[in-house]
Structure 1
Amino acid sequence: MREKLTFFVRRLPIKWKLMLGAAALIFLLFSTYNYAQYLVLKHWMMNQEKDKIQVNMAQLQDYFQEKSNRTDAFPVADSRLYIEKLMGKNQLVRILGKEGEILLTVTNHFDESWIPPKSVSVSELFDITHLEDHILVYRSPIVTAQMVGTIEVASNLETFDHFSQTLLWVMLIGGVLAVFISGISGLALAKQFMRPIRRLASTIRSVKEKGLTARVSKIENGDELANLAQLFNELMNQLETSFLQQKQFVEDASHELRTPITILEGHLSLLHRWGKSEPDVLDESLQASLQEVRRLKGIVQELITLTRVESNSLSENVEPIEIEPIIHETAKRCEVLHPDFEFIESTQSLKDVRLSISPLHLEQIMLIILDNAVKYSANNKRIEIEAVRLRNDVQVSVKDHGIGIPVADLPYVFDRFYRVNKARNREIAGTGLGLAIAKQFVHNYRGVMTIASEENIGTKVTISFPIHPNIE
C-alpha cells in the first residue's frame, strides 16, 4: 500500500504536489496550534471551575464556623436558605454527619443520586463521569464546636463541556477551511510558478520538432525561473550559432576540398587517355596534380593545427618572454620573402616588456596576420606594424593599404574557410583557416583579436594580450 501511494505521488504533476504539500503543511501547523490552544483553554476553564467550587466551599466553612461561635445550638437545616442563595445552577451541596449520615441536601437541577455520600477526614477534589454527565466533586471535613462532619459540593460541568465541544468544532471547521483555502491558494501559486516551466517545456518540444530557432517568449524578469528561461535562450542562441558555424564549415570545407579533387580527377583522366604517349601532357598533368596535392596537404595540415589549438588551453607554466624581438624578427622574415613590400615598424614601447606566451605561437600569429596583409594588398605595398603598452595589456596592430573587407563580411572573417568574395579565386592562395587559427591562439592566451577595415582603403588587425601582475 505504501509503495502504491509513493508511486501515485511521484506521478502527480508538480502543481498538484505543490498544492498537496502546501495543504499538508498548513494542516499540520493549524492542527498543532489549534490542539495546543484547545488544551490550554480547556485546562484554564477547568481551573476556573475548581476555583469557583473551592470558593463556595470556603464560604460554607466560614458560615458554619461563624454560626457555631454565635449560638449554642444551630440546626443544620436552618442553613438551607443561605446555601440556596450561595449555590449556582447544576450544583449540589450536602452536609454529612460524623458517621456519614445525611444531615442536609440542597440541589439546583442536580440529581443527588449521581454522587453517593462519603465522609472524609481530608479534603479531596476530583471530577467523575456519570453516564453522559461530567461532574466536579469537592469534599472537605468540617469541625466546629457543635458538629463534626463533611461538606460535599458537586457541580455538573454541562456548560463547561458544551463550551469545550463548541470550541473544538469551531477549531475543526476553521482547520478544514484553512486547509481548503491553502490548497486553492497553493494551486494558484503553483500554476503561477509553473507558467515559465510550461513555456520552457513547450519551447523544448518546439526545438525538438522544428529546430534550434524556437525561444522562450514573454520572460518576466525577477525570479529564478525567469533567469532559467533567459539562460535557456542564451544557450539556444549559442547552440544555433555553433550549429550554423559547423554547417558553414562543412559547406566551405566541401567546397575547398572538392576543387582540388576535381582537378586531380581531371588530370588523372587526361593522363589515362593521352599521357602515356604525350610527354607534354604528362608533364603538365603531373605538375598540376602535384600542386593540388600540396594544396590538399596544406588544408589538412591547417585543420590539424586548428584542432590542436582548440583542444589545448593556456598553459600556466609558460615562461615570460620579451615579445619585441620576436615581432621584429618575424617582420624581417616577411621582408626577405617579399622584397617588394615595405614593412614599417613602431615597436619601441615594447622594449623589455615580457609576456607569458610561447614564442612559436606568437611568431605563428604574426606570420598569419602579415601573410594576409601581403596577399590582399594592392598597389600600395606598405605594411605598418605598431605596438604599444597600455596600463594592463599590450596591443599589436598590423595595417595594410589593400583591397579591404566589405562591412557585410567583417563578422565572418574569423570563421573557418571563410574568404571574402573578392578573394575567392585561384590567383590568391589560401584556405581561409589562417585567421581562425590565429584567433584561437590569441584566445588561448586570454587575448583579444579584432579587425577594422574599409573597402579599397585597407585593413587593420589588432591583437591584445593582458600583462600578468607579476611580470614587469
Structure 2
Amino acid sequence: MKKRVSLKWKWTIGASMAIFFTYTLFSVAIFMGFTQMMISQEHANVKDTLFAVSNKLKLEPTSLTNEKVTQTLQPNFPTTNDSTEVDSRFLIDDSSYDSIDTLYAKINEAGVVVRVFDPNSRLLYESRASHATFNKTAYTVIEPIKIDGKDGFSGTMPIMSSQNQNIIGYVQVTNELLRYHEMSNKIVLVMLTMGSLALIVSGVLGYLLAINFLKPIKLMTRTMNDVRQDTQSRSRMVVPDSNDELSDLTRLFNDMLDKMQKYIEQQKQFVEDVSHELRTPVAIMEGHLKLLNRWGKEDPVILDESLSASLQEIERMKSLVQEMLDLSRAEQVEIHYKHEKTNVKNMIHQTFNNFSMIHPDFVFNLDDDVDEDVNVQIYRNHFEQILIILLDNAVKYSTDRKEIHISVAQDDYAIQIAIQDFGEGIGQGDLQKIFNRFYRIDKARSRDKGGNGLGLAIAKELLDGYQGTISVESVLNHGTIFRISLPILKEN
C-alpha cells in the first residue's frame, strides 16, 4: 500500500523549497555581482600600481639599476654624506608626499608583489619574494593567474624613459587577491548562515501558509463527513470574506450540498407521497377483491360493482403514477432541460386553439401583446403542460359563467401570463396551500373532477426550475386568477 503523505506537508515542503530557491537565486545573483565588482576593483588596483611605479621610474634617462629603483620606491628620502642636504634629484614639494605614501601603500599591500626588471630581464627590485613567471612585453598586460591554487592577477608593462622614449626596464605587479578571497569567504559564510535561517523561516512560513490554505479543505472534509453520517444534516461551510477562489469554491460546495440534499428530500418525499396516495386505491381494491372472494363472485351485481370500482381505482392509480413521474421530472429540469427555448406566442395560441376546440361550451378570450420573436428558456412540452394544468383547472372549477380569459404581456425582462376564470374561487385560508403536493380544497369534490392534487405542484416545480414564478388571486364564489412569469431569453 502506497504510503500516505499529507497534503499539508506536501504544500509545506513545496512552499519552503520555492521560497528557499528564490532566496538562493537572488543571493547567488548578488554574490556574483559583488564578486565581479571586487574583481574589477582589484584589476584596476593592479593597473594603478603598474602606472604609479612606471611613472616614478621613467624619469631616468638610461637603464635602471638596483640602487636607483630602490631609492625611488622607498618612502624615506636619501640624503648627502653630511646628512644635512637632500639629493637634488629627490627635491619635491609637499604635495608629492601623498603620492609617495600612496605608492608605498600599494607596494606594501598584503598579497601584492612589485618587481622591477632591466631590459635584459634581470631582477632589480622585489618588494617581497615571489615565484611568479616574468615575460617581457611591449605593452601593458594584466592577466589572471593561479597562485597556490587560488585566483590572482599578474600585470606587466614596459617602463619608457620620459626623455627619449626608450625602454629602460619592466615592472611586474602580482596580486594574490587576498582581500577578494577574504571578503568572498565572509560573504559565502554569511550566505550559508542566512540560507540556513532562510530555510527554517521558509519552512515555518510554508507550514503556516499550508495551514491557512488547507483550512477550507479541512472544513470541507468535516462537512462532508457530517453529511455522510447524516444525509439530512444542515452542516455547511462558512463562506470566507476573502472574495477569491476559495470563497467561490466554498459557495459551489455549499450549493452542491444544498442540491444533493434537495434531491434526497425529493426522493424521500416522492416515496412517502406515492405510499400515502396509493394506500387508498389499494385498500379499496383489496376490499372489493376480498368481498368477491368471500361471496360476491356469485352475485352478478356485486361482481359488476366490484370490478367497475377496481378498474376505476386502477385508472386513478395510473393517473397518479404518471403525475408523480411528471413531478419528479419537473424537479430536475435544471439538469436535463437548461438549454431549451420556446416561442411564447406560438405556444399560447396553439394551447388556446386546442382548448377552444375541445371545450366548445366555454368562451375563451385571448389578449395577446407579445412580439412574434420572443422566446423563453423552457422546454416546449413543459410550457404547454403548465398552460394545460392552469386552463384545465379553470374549466373544472367554473360554474355557471363558462368564460375564461387569457392575457399575455411582456416587459424588458419577463413574460407575464394571466389565466382567469369566474368559478368557485378559493378561500383565503387555502390560497397558501394549493401548491402543496396532494392538497385538495374539497377532497370529495376534487376526486369527482378527476384531480389528485398534483397539478399545481407540478406547475410550480416546473416554473421554479426555469426561474419563473406563479401566484394566485381569488375570491370565493367569484373566480380565480393565476399569474405566471418567465424571464425572456436574451439572444446573443
TM score, norm. by length of structure 1 = 0.78
Tell me which of 211, 221, 236 is aligned to 1:216. Answer: 236
- 2:124 and 2:60 mapped to 1: Cα distance? 16
Map 1:161-200; keep pairs closer than 5 Å. Answer: 161-200=181-220
Tell me which of 418, 441, 451 is aligned to 1:430. Answer: 451
- 2:25 and 2:280 mapped to 1: Cα distance? 82
Residue 138 of structure 1: aligned partner:
155
- 2:295 and 2:367 mapped to 1: Cα distance? 61
Gap change, CA 1:408 and 1:236, over 3 Å in 2: farther
- Structure 1 position 239 matched with structure 2 position 232: no
- Structure 1 position 153 matched with structure 2 position 170: no
Residue 340 of structure 1: aligned partner:
none
Gap change, CA 1:169 and 1:219, over 3 Å in 2: same
Deviates more, 1:149-158 or 1:382-391: 382-391
* Cα shift at 1:267: 0.8
Gap change, CA 1:175 and 1:45, over 3 Å in 2: same
Map 1:293-442; keep pairs closer than 5 Å. Answer: 293-303=314-324, 313=337, 321=346, 323-324=348-349, 326-327=351-352, 330=355, 333-334=358-359, 336=361, 346-349=365-368, 365-373=386-394, 384-391=404-411, 393-399=415-421, 400-404=423-427, 406=429, 409-410=432-433, 413=435, 415=437, 418-420=438-440, 422-423=442-443, 429-438=450-459
The 8 Å contact of residues 469 and 486 in structure 2, kept in 1 or not, is answered as no
* Cα shift at 1:207: 0.5
Tell me which of 268, 271, 281 is aligned to 1:250. Answer: 271
* Cα shift at 1:450: 0.8
SS of the equivalent of 1:321 reads helix
Tell me which of 69, 74, 82 is aligned to 1:84. Answer: 74
- 1:467 and 1:116 mapped to 2: Cα distance? 94
SS of the equivalent of 1:66 reads coil
Residue identity matched to 2:484? I
Residue 6 of structure 2: aligned partner:
13
Gap change, CA 1:158 and 1:368, over 3 Å in 2: closer
Tell me which of 100, 115, 126 is aligned to 2:131. Answer: 115
Residue identity matched to 2:231? G
Gap change, CA 1:103 and 1:430, over 3 Å in 2: same
The 8 Å contact of residues 369 and 410 in structure 2, kept in 1 or not, is answered as no
Per-residue Cα deviation, 1:220-279 (whole angstroms, up to 9, x for no partner) = 121221221122222222222222222122111122222112211111111121123323
Gap change, CA 1:330 and 1:359, over 3 Å in 2: farther
Consecutive unaligned residues in structure 2, runs of 5 or more = 76-102
Gap change, CA 1:135 and 1:317, over 3 Å in 2: closer
Deviates more, 1:266-275 or 1:456-465: 456-465
Residue identity matched to 2:136? V
The 8 Å contact of residues 382 and 401 in structure 1, kept in 2 or not, is answered as no
Tell me which of 249, 262, 272 is aligned to 2:293. Answer: 272
* Cα shift at 1:363: 6.7
- 1:318 and 1:33 mapped to 2: Cα distance? 65
The 8 Å contact of residues 405 and 420 in structure 1, kept in 2 or not, is answered as no
- Structure 1 position 41 matched with structure 2 position 58: no
Residue identity matched to 1:296? M
The 8 Å contact of residues 158 and 169 in structure 2, kept in 1 or not, is answered as yes
Residue identity matched to 1:76? N
Residue identity matched to 2:366? T
- 1:447 and 1:75 mapped to 2: Cα distance? 108
Per-residue Cα deviation, 1:45-79 (whole angstroms, up to 9, x for no partner) = 1222222222222222222221327xxx9743133
SS of the equivalent of 1:460 reads strand
Gap change, CA 1:287 and 1:435, over 3 Å in 2: same
Gap change, CA 1:244 and 1:423, over 3 Å in 2: farther
SS of the equivalent of 2:232 reads coil
Per-residue Cα deviation, 1:178-211 (whole angstroms, up to 9, x for no partner) = 3332332222122112111111110001100122
The 8 Å contact of residues 114 and 171 in structure 2, kept in 1 or not, is answered as yes
Per-residue Cα deviation, 1:270-296 (whole angstroms, up to 9, x for no partner) = 112112332332232223223222222
* Cα shift at 1:41: 1.9
* Cα shift at 1:344: 6.8
Residue 100 of structure 1: aligned partner:
121
Residue 95 of structure 2: aligned partner:
none
The 8 Å contact of residues 345 and 372 in structure 2, kept in 1 or not, is answered as no
Per-residue Cα deviation, 1:412-468 (whole angstroms, up to 9, x for no partner) = 7264xx224653775563223323454577689x68451325685764322345677
Gap change, CA 1:299 and 1:355, over 3 Å in 2: farther
Gap change, CA 1:405 and 1:360, over 3 Å in 2: farther
Gap change, CA 1:398 and 1:281, over 3 Å in 2: same
SS of the equivalent of 2:172 reads strand
Gap change, CA 1:126 and 1:192, over 3 Å in 2: same
- 1:53 and 1:376 mapped to 2: Cα distance? 113
The 8 Å contact of residues 139 and 151 in structure 1, kept in 2 or not, is answered as yes
The 8 Å contact of residues 390 and 482 in structure 2, kept in 1 or not, is answered as yes
Tell me which of 251, 255, 276 is aligned to 1:230. Answer: 251
Gap change, CA 1:332 and 1:128, over 3 Å in 2: closer
Gap change, CA 1:179 and 1:351, over 3 Å in 2: closer
SS of the equivalent of 1:397 reads strand
- Percent of aligned positions that are identical: 29
Consecutive unaligned residues in structure 1, runs of 5 or more = 337-342
Per residue, is there more helix in 1 or in 2?
1
Indicate the RMSD between aligned Cα atoms, in angstroms.
4.1
- 1:413 and 1:133 mapped to 2: Cα distance? 93
- 1:170 and 1:220 mapped to 2: Cα distance? 42
Gap change, CA 1:395 and 1:296, over 3 Å in 2: same
* Cα shift at 1:218: 3.1
Residue identity matched to 1:162? E
Gap change, CA 1:120 and 1:141, over 3 Å in 2: same
The 8 Å contact of residues 141 and 157 in structure 2, kept in 1 or not, is answered as yes
